[in-house]
Amino acid sequence: MTSPQSAQLDYFTFVDRPPLRCGTTVSRPPTSGPAAPDVESGDVLRRARELALRPDVTALVALREAVLRRAEEAARKDDPAIVREIQAIDRYLFEARALRLRLDAAAIRKGT
């Protein structure tokens, strides 16, 4: 059973678009999520530093998860080098979150 809101959405979705001609293909956005970051290159900390300067918190979290996943697949989760890498990413993540909060606060103050 569809709710009135979803029926209304469908109505506007079809009304706002012109009808398709025969032979026209409809392009759809990709259904998969963003690609996993490349953590095999050995430049993980350089990439983390760059992401922290942007500050791209979402990408840093994805990078951290990719490093953990790679370590688990290689059965090296407790390897001291991996632990240091994760700790460094965590520091960059902390810095990126703090910078993002400062930028958002400045934008809010500027907007009021």
For the stretch 8-37, pLDDT in tens is 444 444 444 444 454 544 454 444 344 445
Q: Is the pLDDT of residue 103 over 90?
A: yes
**DSSP secondary-structure letter at 23?**
T
Model-level pTM?
A: 0.62
Q: In this predicted model, which residue has the larger pLDDT, 75 or 10? A: 75
Under the banding of pLDDT at 50, 70 and 90, the label for residue 109 is very high
27-65 as b/e: b if 16+ CB within 10 A: eeeeeeeeeebebeeeebeebbbebbeebebebbebbbe
Token reading at 67:
């490093």
Q: What is the largest CA-CA distance in the chain?
A: 61
Give backbone dihedrals phi and psi of 82, rounded to 5 degrees, phi first: -70, -40
Q: What is the average per-residue pLDDT within 79-101?
A: 95
3-state secondary structure of 78: coil
Give me the numbers of helices (H) and strands (E) for the chain, helices first please: 4, 0
Q: Is the pLDDT of residue 85 over 60?
A: yes
CB atoms within 10 A of CB 88: 15
